[in-house]
Amino acid sequence: MPPKKPPIERRPRRGQRVVRITDVASSAGVSPITVSRVFNAPESVAPETLARVRRAVAELGYVPNRLAGGLSSAKSRLIAAIVPTVAHSLFSETIQVFSDTMSRAGYQVLLGLSGYSDENEDQLLDAVLGRRPEGVLLTGVAHTPTLHERLRKIAIPIVETWDMTDDPIDMLVGFSHYRIGAAVAERFLARGARRPALVSANDQRALVRRRGFVETFARHGIADVAELLMPPPSSVALGKEGLRRIIEARAGVDAIFCSSDLLALGVVSEARRLAIDIPGRIAVCGFGALEFSADTMPALTTVRVDGKRIGATAARCLIDRLNGATDKTLVDVGFELVERETL
């Protein structure tokens, strides 16, 4: 595993001053009305002025208050949460518990679905930040450089989830995808696997698991891992296709790590159709511990992450910060390799 970077100390975010429209106007050398036009009618602003104001917005981390005049209180009691999808329990459990916990504390959660796209995440955050949320939950720690810098300057609590880094934007509740890939590789090696393969989505977190898997085999002298990377979202059909393409390209594959249980279910189903013995000929491991994984034939080996704990802990972090806590929080919830009949 790559060496850890030393943590970076930061001043408490709660004490940061909120950037106002007058600050942007002063920095850009224009009037506050011109700044307002940049957000509400950019076509009416000269291109040079538009660029100057937008540069000042980015440098100062300004967020336009689209609720100005519409609230009798300065508090919105709103929390923004951005996740890739709620189509399966991987993220839906986290969001349900997070939302329930925030609701009991008097906050409402505004949910946005990014669909594994950095561009969508940027657009969603731009939309919700204008509603002045009091906190933000994000999925993962990989953001575009522009968004990452902007989020560091925003004077509201932010909690990143479902990932791990030594340098979070603010607070972090997650786990190491790299260690998951490494743990699966170590288990395959202990089983005697020497011709491994990977069927994986190519989103950021899946690629980190892939790196842990590939590098662990390389450290044991096995540098040739058959790989098939596909764009998310994953599906059973893509898993079936993945197995066919892997065995056509590489004879003798004896272990396959899939980036999701859906892909793994497809691999196991297609192996049964092709009369390939699982796990006798090929061991299979998924990720996510989705509800069906224990009921497949054979029962699917997978990696379980406690999504409910992530949601509850992330909510507690935000609530504590909103109540005045200033401690920097980094929580690693870990993971569990659930061994069943496909290993």
- Residue that wins the pLDDT comparison between 10 and 21: 21
Where do the structural domains in the chain lie, given as residue ranges? 13-17+76-175+308-334, 20-62, 177-304
- Note the pLDDT tens digit of each residue in 15-30: 567 788 999 999 999 9
Angle CA 142–317–166, to nearest 5: 40
- Note the pLDDT tens digit of each residue in 166-195: 889 999 999 999 999 999 999 999 999 999
- What is the reported pLDDT for 178? 97
Q: Which CATH fold topology does 20-62 show?
A: 434 Repressor (Amino-terminal Domain) (1.10.260)
Average pLDDT over residues 117-142: 83
Amino acid in the structure at residue 107: Y
> Which of the listed CATH numbers 2.60.40.10, 3.30.70.20, 3.40.50.2300, 3.40.50.720 matches domain 13-17+76-175+308-334?
3.40.50.2300
Are 56 and 62 contacting, i.e. CB atoms less than 8 angstroms apart? yes
Report the alpha-carbon distance of residue 64 to residue 21 in Å, rounded: 7
Question: In 173-199, which positions are buried (b, 16+ CB within 10 angstroms) versus exposed (e)?
Answer: bbbbbbbbbbbbbbbbbeeebebbbbb
- Say yes or no to pLDDT of 87 above 80: no
Q: Which CATH fold topology does 177-304 show?
A: Rossmann fold (3.40.50)
Pairing state of beta strands 108-113 and 78-83? Answer: parallel
Q: Taking the model in full, what pTM does it have?
A: 0.78
**Domains 13-17+76-175+308-334 and 177-304 fall in the same CATH topology:** yes
